[in-house]
């Protein structure tokens, strides 16, 4: 990598003005940057202008962290102090995330766990065979809008579909303004449509249920067999996956792909902007309801119920909207309790620190 200037190296890793701006104060103090390519029990593998390094967070970062989301995740840009000879680095801080995918951390607590950061484009993969599920697509769209990454719908296994037009019409009814591409990864068909998303410095990720063909697609796009394709048994959508050693992978086209196991198990987490983006059609119908806070139940002058009756709005889509709204409300209540506890904890720490700092007289 020596023939490249530092700037070029960073650009090829996804560096841009946004990160450069936030890094400026650290640069003045002589720090370097790196991008996390793997997390392993709080040891991080990162790519940098000094090559690949193993990083550990400093005590200060640990001390100031109020939750898991304050620790580095795959795709994060981090402020480092490299020890090039040892191929190690200490991680001082995270640069703000341009986008993030998160889920509930395992266990009873409602803690946010970042599964991928700084994704520019997310391919929402749905198979065109019997697994095809438009309601699931809706959920993925919410997650995508919420993340800050731009969604692109990839309909896979085109070779197993004989009513493509009907499927496309269905997809277009929920994915307003989102690009849709039809591919058959197994046969390498339609993949050239995805090339424009994979250029230099672009970070992409794939989302979709197990068995829809994500690994096959990743293999084709990355031009290698680093992702072993799992065998999926008939009627069983739980494929097995072999883990790769790097979860941030460079693509031959110059882009980068984030492929973390967490991306595969994403469930709905806090979503507000995302929810509104995904249900734009319903939200805009609801603007015509007589009451601002219309619940679309029995209120007079409800435009949503009218739309269902006259067939403009599909009942199933409205039901899905209500169901997701309830799930989100439930999560929001739990998250609120956690945030309050974290805030209390933070102030406790600050108080202790202040008391220790008090000058002795």
**Contact set with ligand GDP (CB under 6 A):** 156-157, 159-160, 184-186, 208, 210-216, 229-232, 239
CB-based contacts of 348: which residues, under 8 Å, 6+ apart?
none
User: What, of ligand GDP, Zn ion, none, does residue 296 touch, CB below 5 to 8 Å by kind?
Assistant: Zn ion
User: What, of ligand GDP, Zn ion, none, does residue 113 touch, CB below 5 to 8 Å by kind?
Assistant: none
Q: Is 158 labelled a binding residue? A: yes
User: What, of Zn ion, ligand GDP, none, does residue 50 touch, CB below 5 to 8 Å by kind?
Assistant: none
Least distance between ligand GDP and beta carbon 116 (Å) = 16
Q: Is 310 labelled a binding residue? A: no
State which residue, 183 or 307, has the beta carbon closest to ligand GDP: 183
Least distance between ligand GDP and beta carbon 241 (Å) = 7
User: What, of ligand GDP, Zn ion, none, does residue 232 touch, CB below 5 to 8 Å by kind?
Assistant: ligand GDP
End-to-end CA distance of the chain: 57
Q: Is 213 labelled a binding residue? A: yes
Least distance between ligand GDP and beta carbon 208 (Å) = 6
Q: Which long-range contacts (CB under 8 A, 24 or more apart) does 263-266 make?
A: 263/101, 263/115, 263/116, 263/205, 263/206, 263/207, 264/207, 264/210, 264/214, 265/103, 266/101, 266/103, 266/115, 266/143, 266/207
* Secondary structure element (H or E) that encloses residue 112, with its range: strand 112-117
| 310 burial level (CB within 10 Å; 0-12, 13-18, 19+) | exposed
| Cα 240 from Cα 229, distance rounded (Å) | 8
CB 105 within 8 A of CB 112: yes
User: What, of ligand GDP, Zn ion, none, does residue 156 touch, CB below 5 to 8 Å by kind?
Assistant: ligand GDP
Least distance between ligand GDP and beta carbon 138 (Å) = 19
CB 206 within 8 A of CB 260: no
Q: Is 302 labelled a binding residue? A: yes
State which residue, 237 or 336, has the beta carbon closest to ligand GDP: 237
State which residue, 186 or 306, has the beta carbon closest to Zn ion: 306
State which residue, 83 or 290, has the beta carbon closest to Zn ion: 290
CB-based contacts of 206: which residues, under 8 Å, 6+ apart?
122, 123, 125, 154, 214, 217, 218, 257, 259, 263
| Cα 152 from Cα 159, distance rounded (Å) | 20
State which residue, 98 or 157, has the beta carbon closest to ligand GDP: 157
Residues lying near Zn ion in the complex (CB under 5 A) are found at 289, 294, 296, 302, 304
Q: Is 224 labelled a binding residue? A: no
Six token digits for residue 320? 């899905």
Estimate to the nearest angstrom the gap between the alpha carbon of 81 and the chain centroid.
27
State which residue, 269 or 318, has the beta carbon closest to Zn ion: 318
CB 74 within 8 A of CB 39: yes
| Cα 255 from Cα 267, distance rounded (Å) | 26
User: What, of ligand GDP, Zn ion, none, does residue 253 touch, CB below 5 to 8 Å by kind?
Assistant: none
CB 47 within 8 A of CB 34: yes
Least distance between ligand GDP and beta carbon 247 (Å) = 14
Q: Is 41 labelled a binding residue? A: no
Q: Is 119 labelled a binding residue? A: no
Q: Is 320 labelled a binding residue? A: no
| Cα 302 from Cα 290, distance rounded (Å) | 6
User: What, of Zn ion, ligand GDP, none, does residue 203 touch, CB below 5 to 8 Å by kind?
Assistant: none
Which residue ranges are tagged as binding site for GTP? 156-159, 208-216
Which residue ranges are tagged as binding site? 156-159, 208-216, 289, 294, 296, 302
Which residue ranges are tagged as binding site for Zn(2+)? 289, 294, 296, 302
């Amino acid at each position: 990598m020596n023939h490249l200037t530092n700037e070029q190296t960073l650009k090829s890793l996804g560096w841009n003005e946004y990160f450069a701006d936030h890094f400026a104060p650290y640069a003045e103090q002589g720090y370097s940057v790196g991008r996390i390519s793997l997390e392993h029990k709080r040891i991080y593998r990162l790519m940098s202008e000094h090559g690949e390094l193993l990083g550990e967070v400093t005590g200060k970062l640990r001390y100031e962290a109020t939750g898991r989301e304050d620790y580095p995740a795959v795709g994060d840009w981090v402020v480092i102090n490299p020890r090039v000879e040892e191929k190690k680095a200490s991680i001082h801080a995270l640069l703000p995330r341009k986008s993030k995918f998160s889920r509930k951390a395992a266990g009873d607590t409602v803690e946010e766990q970042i599964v991928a950061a700084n994704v520019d484009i997310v391919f929402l993969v749905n198979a065109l065979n019997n697994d095809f599920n438009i309601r699931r697509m809706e959920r993925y769209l919410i997650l995508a809008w919420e993340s800050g990454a731009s969604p692109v719908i990839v309909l896979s296994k085109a070779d197993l579909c004989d009513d493509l037009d009907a499927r496309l019409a269905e997809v277009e009814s929920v994915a307003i303004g989102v690009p849709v591409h039809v591919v058959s990864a197994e046969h390498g068909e339609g993949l050239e449509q995805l090339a424009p998303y994979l250029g230099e410095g672009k970070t992409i990720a794939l989302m979709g249920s197990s068995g829809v063909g994500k690994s096959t697609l990743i293999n084709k796009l990355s031009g290698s067999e680093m992702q072993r394709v799992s065998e999926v048994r008939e009627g069983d959508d739980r494929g097995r996956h072999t883990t790769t050693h790097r979860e941030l992978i460079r693509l031959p086209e110059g882009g980068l792909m984030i492929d973390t196991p967490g991306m595969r198990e994403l469930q709905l987490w806090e979503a507000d902007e995302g929810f509104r983006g995904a249900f734009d059609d319903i939200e805009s119908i609801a603007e015509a309801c007589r009451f601002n806070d219309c619940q679309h139940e029995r209120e007079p002058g409800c435009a949503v119920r009218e739309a269902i009756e006259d067939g403009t709005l599909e009942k199933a889509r409205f039901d899905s909207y209500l169901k997701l709204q309830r799930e989100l409300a439930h999560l929001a209540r739990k998250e609120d309790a956690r945030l309050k506890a974290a805030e209390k904890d933070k102030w406790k720490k600050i108080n202790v620190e202040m008391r220790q700092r008090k000058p002795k007289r």
